[in-house]
Chains A and B, each alone.
Chain A
């Protein structure tokens, strides 16, 4: 199975900050990497697919990059509604493994 490792596990930041979350795959996954945002009590929301493609309706302050084994998602200027937990997921092979999540909290 492909293991997905996110860092950091948690992150405190302020409104307006630029933040980056990293995801590393245990083997190459080309660009089959997706990012989701989840708020408490809600289903995950797709932010980015294919490593760098912004899902329709997602604000342009979100961006993704990477290929192979190393990936990042960046929020260029944090907004209050961005405080949530973020997950990466590889869709290169089954099982479609997720990272352990990164909880983004208000400083």
Chain B
């Protein structure tokens, strides 16, 4: 069974840093690109970042470019999002999601999300 479990969310002050993790199981992690998607309270879904299976290709939304860093450790079946210089507008539930290259790059599997709150 495919499982994605995020952790690392919490309350942080503006300008602070936080590292999110996504533990994957039930599939060959290194074979899949992974995404981070966030959702601010009461708002819609926003794609944040993507990383290919070998980490060769990495992409960011303009809203986080230069502040967030996506990475993965295939030996540990884990995905990460290092978030620096956090702003109030980064407050959101952050989801990790597996990208299905065989199904037109949709995301069938999502984690349960982890809440990041940026507030003084």
Contacts and interface: CB of A to CB of B under 8 A. Distances in A.
Given A46-B108, A53-B103, A55-B108, A95 B113 contact: no
Contact of B104 (A44, A49, A87, A94): A49
A89 B45 contact: yes
B46 interface: yes
A101 B106 contact: no
Nearest to B57: A94
Interface in B39-83: 44-47, 50, 59, 61-62
B83 to A, nearest CB: 17
A96 interface: yes
Interface residues on A, range: 20 to 34
B104 A31 contact: yes
Interface residues of B, number: 23
Contacts of A49: 100, 103-104, 106
Contact of A50 (B44, B95, B103): B103
Given A44-B45, A87-B44, A96 B113 contact: no
A63 interface: no
A39 to B, nearest CB: 13
Given A95-B59, A97-B47, A43 B105 contact: no
Interface in A56-96: 87, 89, 91, 94-96
B104 A46 contact: no
Contact of B106 (A38, A46, A94): A46
A14 interface: no
Interface string A15-56: 000000000000000011010101000011010011001010
B66 to A, nearest CB: 15
Interface of B: 35, 37, 44-47, 50, 59, 61-62, 95, 99-100, 103-108, 110-113
Of all A-B residue pairs in the complex, the 8 with the closest CB atoms, nearest first, are A91-B105, A49-B106, A43-B110, A50-B104, A34-B106, A94-B59, A101-B44, A96-B47
12 contacts: A36-B45, A38-B45, A43-B111, A43-B112, A44-B95, A44-B107, A44-B110, A50-B103, A50-B106, A87-B45, A91-B105, A94-B59
